[in-house]
Structure 1
Amino acid sequence: DGKVRLPKIGFVKFEQHRSFEGVIRSATVSMTKTGKFFISILVEQENEPWIPAKNKVGIDLGLKHFAVMTNDAMVSEEIENPRFLRKSEAKVKKAQRALSRKKIGSKNREKAKLLLAKK
């Protein structure tokens, strides 16, 4: 009925996010600072038979290329490394440093804020 009984506490409202089948082995109850309870349930289930994958993909991460993917037919696909992120981070860092050196309320500080907002 949407409730679970906890020892020393009593009945607590319960909202089940995932269904499960099998034997319950253990339950861990935790409470947040706001007073909400969470229950993690460990369930033992029967093993499903392993079915090997029909298509296989190998992924190699690197520096020159972000990733190189190879499939069963030995066909490679290279994904370029997005290096624009590092350049953008450097520009933002420089703009933030310039903004921190300006006096609060000055026109130069407002200019620096506008420059930072554009990046």
Structure 2
Amino acid sequence: MQRNYFLMALACLLAIAPAAPADAASGCAAKEAHIQAKIAAAKQQGNDDALRGLETALREVRRWCRDDSLMGKAEMRVQEKRAEVAEQELELREARLAGRTADKIAKRERKLRKAQEELRQAIAERDALKR
């Protein structure tokens, strides 16, 4: 019973995970290629449990994945990350204006850098889908 939950969770995670950049493929094709590569590795290792979960994930990607929905989700993620960067910039400015201690300002700067990196990553993922 627990193994079934594991396989279902694995299939769901693989189906919704961002696609790894592939040579010529993007979007759903990249997801499918990524899962197929994992299937080949599971077959080579003789890992039947992982193989069943990956085959389920592949069926689900083929059934439900649409490039236009991936693009919409990617664009929404970029907008969310832009809002997060703006919020962190505001909090840093407020901390500086309020005369906070150097360690609190440094903490805000770290949070801003992290938000900026997440935005860059979201933009790169969105742009990879456009290709």
Q: Same fold (TM over 0.5)?
A: no
Larger C-alpha radius of gyration, 1 or 2?
1
Richer in helix (by share): 2
TM-score, reference length from structure 1: 0.32
Higher relative contact order (CA 8 A, sep 6+): 2
Richer in strand (by share): 1
